Amino acid sequence: MLSRAISEATSNESAIPVGGVTLGLPDSEKGGLVATILPLNQGRRRDLSGPFAATAAVFVQNPAVSPHYAGEAFGKLYGLTDAELRVVLAMAPGLGVKEAAALLGIGEVTARTHLQHVYAKTGTSKQTGLLNLLKNSAPPVNLV
């Protein structure tokens, strides 16, 4: 099943979504893994690869050991404290600092201080850049 998906992902460019192909790899115990095949020989990625370069990247994930809550991996990657991550996650749906602070039950000044620390740790300087970084850091697999 995986071999067939890799072959299809690398041979039929027009039928493959930009984000790749995701499939379940069940095991005998009603569990299994989730694999995402990302073609590397399409669009702009084709220009970057030489004749002997890889044609696909395969990401395999065990859903049972994924991060415990949304953003945990992002927080660990950038060394965010729990309080800083809570502010980021509260802002993720598009809330401003004032609204996020009210939602979290903290002062606006405290939320702004956490946000400044997050900007420094992530190398961002604006809310849109930070939230784009968070969105783009999501796992390549949607577990539905």
Q: How confident is the model at residue 18 (pLDDT cuts 50, 70, 90)?
A: low
What number is the average pLDDT over the span 23-40?
A: 81
Q: What is the mean pLDDT of the chain?
A: 80
Q: Give residue 12's pLDDT.
A: 61
| 3-class secondary structure per residue, the chain | CHHHHHHHHHHCHHHCCCCCEEEEEECCCCCEEEEEEEECCCHHHHHHCCCCCCCEEEEEECHHHCCCCCCHHHHHHHCCCHHHHHHHHHHCCCCCHHHHHHHHCCCHHHHHHHHHHHHHHHCCCCHHHHHHHHHHCCCCCCCC
Q: How confident is the model at residue 2 (pLDDT cuts 50, 70, 90)?
A: confident
Q: Give residue 61's pLDDT.
A: 79
Two structure tokens written together for 92: 């993720």
Q: Give residue 57's pLDDT.
A: 82
Locate the domains of the chain by residue range. Answer: 2-65, 72-136
Please give the CATH number for the structural domain made up of 72-136: 1.10.10.10
* Residue 9 or residue 4, greater confidence: 4
Residue 139, class by beta-carbon neighbours within 10 Å (0-12 exposed, 13-18 middle, 19+ buried)? Answer: middle
pLDDT (tens digit, 9 = 90+) per residue, 67-121?
556 688 889 899 999 999 999 999 988 899 999 999 999 999 999 999 999 999 9
**Region of 66 on the Ramachandran plot (φ > 0 left; ψ -120 to 50 alpha; else beta):** beta
**Region of 125 on the Ramachandran plot (φ > 0 left; ψ -120 to 50 alpha; else beta):** alpha
Amino acid at 58: V
Q: How confident is the model at residue 143 (pLDDT cuts 50, 70, 90)?
A: very low
